[in-house]
Amino acid sequence: MKPMLRTLFALIVLLPAIAWANNYPLVLDPMVTATPPGAKVSAGYMTLTNESDKAITITGAYSPDVAKVEIHLSLVENDVAKMQKQDSLTIEPNASLTFEHGSYHIMLMDLEDPLKENTTIDIVLITSSGDMLIEMPIKKLGHGNHGANGEKMSSDMKHEDMNEADTSMKSMTDDKTDTESMPKPAKVVH
């Protein structure tokens, strides 16, 4: 990420992302999976909520840090795991779209270096409202984290991966007892 962008983030990070929402989807719980040694791919997950009264279409993604980024759907059909590139996804008005295990993900390909946990990666979503840059925290997989069948935030959520990544968010809310069910606003630039 460019130094100027970093400064920009520093200025806006303490303000709720919703202030920028307008016709952009609200980004919650963004994460990219840290990669095992040798892995050339990773996946990004999050929930996008369209709070406007107009449908928002996502037609692609890119990143200054990754050679190739696509939107994929992974599915298991007749016990066979498959991946399908998605050309366009629509979020209806007042609806959400979740990128999660066993469903949609931001597919990062041709990685040159491993993605290390507790760092971040910039992903730009191309939407009908314009491009939006999302700073996505890189996390190790935890059990139940963004699980299939909407089972994210399960009882297994005691693992360390939630802790550090949440630190910045805790300063934004006084409700420390309810961090597990609290959606976490993302750092977003439009």
Partner 1 sequence: MAIIATVALGAGIYVSSQLNIENTGGRYNEQDAINANAQQEQFDSQAFQSLQAQLQNTTLFPDSFKQVPAFSLLQGENEPLTESILKDKWSVLFFGFTNCPDVCPITLNEMNGVVDQLGSENATVPQVLFITVDPVRDPVEKMAEYVAYFNDSFIGGSGDLNEITALTTKLGIVASYTANEDGSNDYTVDHTASMLLIDPQLRVRAKLNAPHKVDTLVADLKTIMTYYN
Q: How far is the CB of 148 from partner 1 (least distance, A)?
A: 4
Q: Which is nearer to partner 1, 43 or 125 (CB)?
A: 43
Q: Which of 143, 168, 173, 190 binds partner 1 (CB under 8 A)?
A: 143
Query: Cβ 5 to partner 1, closest distance in Å?
Result: 26
The span of 12-20, 51-59, 90-98, 101-109 binding partner 1 (CB under 8 A) equals: 101-109
Choice between 26 and 89, CB closer to partner 1: 89
102 binds partner 1 (CB under 8 A): yes
- Site membership for partner 1, residue 147 (CB under 8 A): yes
Residue 143: DSSP 8-state:
T
**Contact between residue 74 and residue 82 where contact means Cβ atoms under 8 Å apart:** yes
**Of 28-87, which residues contact partner 1 (CB under 8 A)?**
33, 36-43, 68, 72, 74, 76, 79-83, 85
Pick the closer one to partner 1 by CB: 23 or 98.
98
The H or E element spanning position 120 is strand 120-127
DSSP 10-37: HHHTTS-GGGGTTTSPEEEEEEEEPPPT
- Token pair for 156: 């297994």
112 near partner 1, rule: CB under 8 A: no
Helix (H, G, I), strand (E, B) or coil at 83: strand
Assign 3-state DSSP to the chain and report helix, strand, coil percentages, each to 5. 15, 40, 45
Q: C-beta of 105: minimal distance to partner 1 in Å?
A: 6
Rounded (5°) CA angle 87-123-65: 110
* Token pair 């066993």 in the structure block, residue: 102
Give the residue with the Cβ less far from partner 1, 18 or 39: 39
SS3 of residue 150 by DSSP: helix
- Picking from 139, 133, 175, the residue whose alpha carbon sits closest to that of residue 160 is 139
Q: 32 or 125, CB closer to partner 1?
A: 32
**Which positions touch partner 1 (CB under 8 A)?**
33, 36-43, 68, 72, 74, 76, 79-83, 85, 101-102, 105, 107-109, 141, 143, 147-149, 151, 156
